[in-house]
A and B are shown apart, each in its own frame.
Chain A
Amino acid sequence: DVKVTQSSRYLVKRTGEKVFLECVQDMDHENMFWYRQDPGLGLRLIYFSYDVKMKEKGDIPEGYSVSREKKERFSLILESASTNQTSMYLCATQGGGVAGDEQYFGPGTRLTVT
């Protein structure tokens, strides 16, 4: 079974802090994704990566950056947290190609910025 872990389930940070959210997968999947989920808006893609050191912007990249130095780890960085970044953050992986199109999600990190 694919296992996707996220560094924290709950996180409280202050406005202006730099925040790191980490995601680790154990299935050697090429593709990794960061979403945020807000009530009434569903999941929105922030960034994704299809290989080490490769990244592409999703639909709402503003205020975020990412890092993928190793295949199994994909980090989301909030350079200067703001209250409108309070949300549920979900990481997902996908094998792609013959490995399949379905995405496997971590348990989520609920971030509160005060």
Chain B
Amino acid sequence: SQQGEEDPQALSIQEGENATMNCSYKTGINNLQWYRQNSGRGLVHLILIRSNEREKHSGRLRVTLDTSKKSSSLLITASRAADTASYFCATRLTGGGNKLTFGTGTQLKVEL
């Protein structure tokens, strides 16, 4: 399996519900980042959490990091149709320089 695997691969919810996506990784990290990709477009950075942080918030986004379990979760509260996109986690590995290793993504669909 790859460094940075998202779970589930696909998620479909109703508008107003919360969406939770998970990311697992294998090796030590400096930070973990979440990105969003709208269909056929480039990725947009959402939030970064450092290895010494456990939780971070940005608007309707909440990210948690558990380094003992090598996992992170992204929670989107009160989802909107505009949140429909693919979401990727990316890890900056310890000793990996500036490179990021991306996961395979979670496709989120928010229905009206």
Interface residues of A (CB under 8 A from B): 4, 31, 33, 35, 40-45, 48, 50, 58, 88, 90, 92, 94, 96, 100-108, 110
Contacts and interface: CB of A to CB of B under 8 A. Distances in A.
A10 B99 CA distance: 26
Overall SS of chain A's interface: strand
Contacts of B31: 101
Contacts of A105: 35, 42-44
Nearest to A30: B98
Given A103-B90, A105-B42, 11 more contacts: A35-B102, A42-B2, A42-B102, A43-B43, A43-B102, A48-B98, A88-B40, A102-B33, A103-B100, A108-B41, A108-B42
A90 B42 contact: yes
Interface of B: 2, 4, 30-31, 33, 35, 40-45, 48, 88, 90, 92, 97-105
Nearest to B103: A42
A77 B110 CA distance: 38
A42 B88 contact: yes
3 closest A-B pairs by CB: A105-B42, A42-B104, A43-B102
Contact of A107 (B42, B97, B98): B42
Nearest to A110: B40
B104 A40 contact: yes
Contacts of B43: 43, 90, 92, 103, 105
Given A90-B42, A102-B45, A104-B45, A96 B98 contact: yes
Contacts of A31: 98
Nearest to A95: B98
A4 B99 CA distance: 18
